[in-house]
Structure formats: structure tokens, C-alpha cells
């Protein structure tokens, strides 16, 4: 992929991941009934809801800073792995009649972050790909 095309796609994926995680922060930090329900179902209310919100906030900020994109994406992968796992084991794909929207968002962030880590791995300290 040409560098300028990859750079554009990188920004698109950054905005997708940071946008989705950032949008959910309001619900987590204001104890919206949907968030309280989800974290109660998985036995992590309220501490888990606030902790995950803080992780998502940090990941969103780091993803948008070019030098720290890979670090934010790694945090995003970790958080979304937990979200996907909880959907598959305790919550179900559809939660409170959302037709699987939250699950789809988690997958979109996970895939976006996975690609971003691959593209920006050279910025990770101590990571050198053998040539």
C-alpha cells in the first residue's frame, strides 16, 4: 500500500476506534441505565464501568496522537477483547434489544486497533522486526 493511502486509512481507523470508544464514555461516566445494566450483568458495577471508561478514554487519546497510536490501539484491543468475551459468554450478542449494535461496535474497534498496531508497530519501544 502506498504510504499516503496507508496514512489516510490510518486516520480513518483512528477516528473509528477513538470515535466509538469516546462516544460510549458519556454512558459509562454518567451511570446511564444501559451501562449500569451491562456492568451489573457481568458483576463489575460500578468499579468495572468506571475503570473501563478510563481505559477507553486513555486509548482514545493515545490513538489520536501519531507517536502513541500503537499504544492506544493495544489498550483498545485489550478492552475490546474483554467486551467481546463478555458478549459471547454472559451478555449475548444483542443487549436490551440493540440488535447486536454494541457487539458490532466492539468488533469494529477491535479490528481497527488490530490494523493500527500492525501499521504503527515500529513506534513501540523495543519492538524491531527482523529483516
Domain boundaries, the chain: 3-122
Supply φ then ψ for residue 43, to 5 degrees. 75, 30
Residues 6+ apart with CB under 8 A from 119: 6, 10
pTM: 0.93
Residue 128 has pLDDT above 90, yes or no: no
- Given a contact cutoff of 8 angstroms between Cβ atoms, the answer to whether 36 and 8 are in contact is no
Residue 30, all three cell numbers: 454518567
SS3 content of the chain, % helix, strand, coil (to 5): 80, 0, 20
User: Is it the case that residue 127 has pLDDT exceeding 80?
Assistant: no
Note the pLDDT tens digit of each residue in 32-84: 999 999 999 999 999 999 999 999 999 999 999 999 999 999 999 999 999 99
Amino acid at each position: 500500500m502506498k504510504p499516503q493511502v496507508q496514512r489516510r486509512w490510518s486516520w480513518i481507523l483512528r477516528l473509528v476506534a477513538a470515535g466509538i470508544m469516546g462516544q460510549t464514555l458519556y454512558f459509562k461516566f454518567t451511570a446511564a441505565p444501559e451501562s449500569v445494566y451491562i456492568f451489573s450483568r457481568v458483576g463489575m458495577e460500578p468499579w468495572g464501568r468506571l475503570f473501563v471508561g478510563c481505559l477507553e478514554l486513555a486509548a482514545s487519546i493515545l490513538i489520536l496522537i501519531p507517536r502513541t497510536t500503537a499504544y492506544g490501539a493495544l489498550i483498545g484491543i485489550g478492552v475490546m477483547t474483554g467486551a467481546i468475551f463478555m458478549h459471547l459468554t454472559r451478555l449475548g450478542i444483542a443487549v436490551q434489544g440493540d440488535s447486536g449494535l454494541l457487539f458490532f461496535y466492539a468488533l469494529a474497534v477491535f479490528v481497527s486497533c488490530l490494523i493500527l498496531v500492525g501499521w504503527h508497530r515500529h513506534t513501540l519501544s523495543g519492538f524491531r522486526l527482523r529483516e
